[in-house]
Structure 1
């Protein structure tokens, strides 16, 4: 026994004398974080002081505000529809009916396996080509908010493509959340006389939602960033305004600052909301 303790002590001493100790790793990580933060802060400060034209920034700011509102409208509608449709896709992915499962699986494989840009082109260019030239029924725009939002084919394309694409990802998150719920939960609910639908709605899905919340929230942040692709279908979003300002003024950094501000104005509150919902879900789990 004495020899064993001596051997353990010698092993601990050898490990403590190694190059990578807990304290050294902590200090190295802290040093890297500080250097990185200072480098980013210095670069941002240099850009703001030497490369941003504040007169131009003030002049083009209203255009970015309008683009922000347009993107926000698309994000809100697409996000609600994608999460709602994604729940049904996730249920289809765990369905015991082979036809339902096969359709849901094919849907997920197509929309996860092809680029969003390709899907935008299918809807924006492919669907109108099914009609004779000049006879596509959605050829005009309807003004909702003057100067800010008009409902036209590009807007409809944006909402439909983002919804279909991200419903596939939400569906996979919901499927993973459902699979993470112990099977005994469903069995216990059925033993109490609940139907399969009631058991899924009342018992399984609330737990699955908590399991999938982080993945769903992350996907909604990605949805916001995916709106940058809408510039290819002539939707006047944030990067479209950036390109117009840059091409007219030959100034890249001034509109870049506004692009960063407008995107962060959407993504940061969204991430805070997801974090709040995660905290609430964990609180509910701890209380239960």
Structure 2
């Protein structure tokens, strides 16, 4: 009855949904959303890995700096951070590189070698990218730190006994083993980031949601456009979920003797066909090698 009510409800206007599903504004917003998601996660993963290593460092300056960064960026809403980056020009009209305190020393142009207007240097897309990526780095730092700490201390001791440096141990021994713990929450963060990009509509960047808002502000067809946007979000999150599953399955090879079946293998099993053996194991039932009956 619910499905029937949705399909037959004239207020939903399925013809309008079909009209705008592949509208140029919607597809452009979709591309911007995907770009923001990919670049913000790149900043988040690389920055989070660096912050996690700093946080675990015995150097108090590095660990304190990482802790302060995580405290600030996790403790303030991402929407507030987006607004700060968007209005950074209100704090500093120009950003420059030069002699520190050059203005107080009486140097020409304040001792600046290079100077640029803040609003030109940080346009809307860059402001959105910085707000999303730097915030994500704080969360990824804790995810990576948890993955690193899940590896037994003996692995590090054995690597050092073989003469490996700290950086080589982290790169070749610790991080590959930590990936099995890091990947699942990272996949969730990627899916969450895809939806969090909708917040950049608050600073007027035309991503997927803002594109829908711009259309229904002219046509007053709010519900159909929101459904169009939701369909695209559902499609993209579904694809990311499948990709996450296969990545998790790849990194589970070292921990599980038998890999979990893929969706295709599950489907074959539901259709009455035995799934093709994964990971090279035999499909012969133990004890029936000679062709006996079960």
TM-score under structure 1 length normalisation: 0.75
Change (3 A) 1:282 1:56: closer
Aligned to 1:100: 62
Distance 1:214 1:235, change over 3 A: same
Q: How many residues align?
A: 237
TM-score between the two structures when normalised by the length of structure 2: 0.74
Q: Is the 8 A contact 2:92 2:118 kept in 1?
A: no
Residues 88 and 118, structure 2, Cα contact 8 Å, conserved in 1: no
Check if 1:210 corresponds to 2:180. yes
CA drift at 1:59: 4.7
How do residues 2-17 of structure 1 correspond to structure 2 at under 5 angstroms?
A: none
CA distance, structure 1, for counterparts of residue 136 and residue 54 of structure 2: 16
Structure 2 residue 130 is the aligned partner of structure 1 residue 130: no
Cα offset, 1:56, TM superposition:
6.3
Which residue number in structure 1 is paired with residue 162 of structure 2? 192
Residue 117 of structure 2 aligns to a residue whose secondary structure is coil
CA distance in 2, matches of 1:126, 1:239: 24
1:5-154 map, 5 Å: 39=2, 41-42=3-4, 44-47=6-9, 51-55=12-16, 57-59=18-20, 61-131=23-93, 137=117, 139=119, 153-154=123-124
Paired position in structure 1 for 2:230: 260
The correspondence for 1:273, drawn from 240, 243, 253, is: 243
Which has the larger share of helix?
1
- Deviation per CA, 1:178-202: give whole Å up to 9, x if none: 1111111111111122112111111
How far off is 1:259 after superposition?
0.5
CA contact (8 A) 1:128 1:136 kept: no
CA distance in 1, matches of 2:190, 2:124: 21
Q: Offset at 1:278?
A: 0.3
Q: Using the alignment, how far apart are the partners of 1:232 and 1:267 within structure 2?
A: 22
Q: Please tell me whether the aligned partners of residues 57 and 254 of structure 1 are also in contact (alpha carbons under 8 angstroms).
A: no
Alignment RMSD (CA, Å): 2.4
1:168-179 maps to which residues of 2 (within 5 A)?
168-179=138-149
